Amino acid sequence: MTGVVEEIFDLFARFGGGEYGEALSLERHMLQSAAMARSLGASNAVVVAALLHDVGYFLVPDSANAIAEGRDIGHEALGAAWLSQAFGTDVTAPIALHVQAKRYLCGVEPDYFAGLSKASRLSLALQGGVMRADEAERFASDPAFEAALLLRRCDDRGKDLAAATPALEDFRQLLVATLRR
C-alpha cells in the first residue's frame, strides 16, 4: 500500500502549485495545515488528515476552473473516497467532514465566519450555507465530530503567507506509518 504514498507525492508535485482562490498554493496550504495540527498536539491520524484534506482538488483536472466559476466539486468527499483505499476512517472521516465543520462553526460561533479567508467565505453558500440547528445537533453526534473540528481549525490557520512551511518529505514516514494495516 506504500504505492499510495508515492501517488500522493506525485499528486502534490503535479498539482500542488495550483491556486484555489487563496494567495497560497494548495501544497503550502496543506503542509501548513499539517504543521498546525502537529503543533496543536493532534493525533497522527489528524495530522495526516490535515496534510491531505484538500487532495480532492488534485483528483479533478478541472478543479481550478470549477473554483473560479463558483462550482462546488465536493472535494472533501472525493478526497476521502480516494484516500479510503489506503487509510482508515480516523483519517478519511475528518476530511469528509471538514466542509460540514465550517458550516457548523459558522452556526455556533458568532465570530467564526468573519475570521474565515475570503475564499472560504465565498464558498460557504455553495456548500450549503450556515448549518441549521437540527443539522448541527446531528453533526455533533458524529464519532468524527471532534477530529473534524480540529482539522477545520488547522485548515483555517494554514493560510499564512509569511509562515515557514515544512516539506512534504518531512511527513513521508508519518504517512507510511498511518496507512491502514
Q: Which residues bind Fe ion (CB under 5 A)?
A: 54, 155
**Distance between first and last Cα of the chain:** 9
User: Nearest approach, Cβ of 53 to Fe ion (angstroms)?
Assistant: 5
Of 141 and 162, which has the nearer Cβ to Fe ion?
Answer: 162
Of 27 and 155, which has the nearer Cβ to Fe ion?
Answer: 155
At residue 155's C-alpha, the angle toward residues 76 and 75, to 5°, is 15
User: Nearest approach, Cβ of 54 to Fe ion (angstroms)?
Assistant: 5
Provide the b/e sequence for 127-145 (b: ≥16 CB within 10 Å).
Answer: eeebbeeeebeebeebebb
Of 54 and 90, which has the nearer Cβ to Fe ion?
Answer: 54
User: Nearest approach, Cβ of 119 to Fe ion (angstroms)?
Assistant: 9
User: Nearest approach, Cβ of 155 to Fe ion (angstroms)?
Assistant: 4
Q: How far apart are alpha carbons 128 and 132 in whole angstroms?
A: 10
Of 29 and 131, which has the nearer Cβ to Fe ion?
Answer: 29
Question: Which residues have C-beta within 8 Å of that of residue 43, sequence separation ≥ 6?
Answer: 90, 147
Please give the residue whose beta carbon sits closest to Fe ion in the complex: 155
Q: How far apart are alpha carbons 36 and 104 in whole angstroms?
A: 21
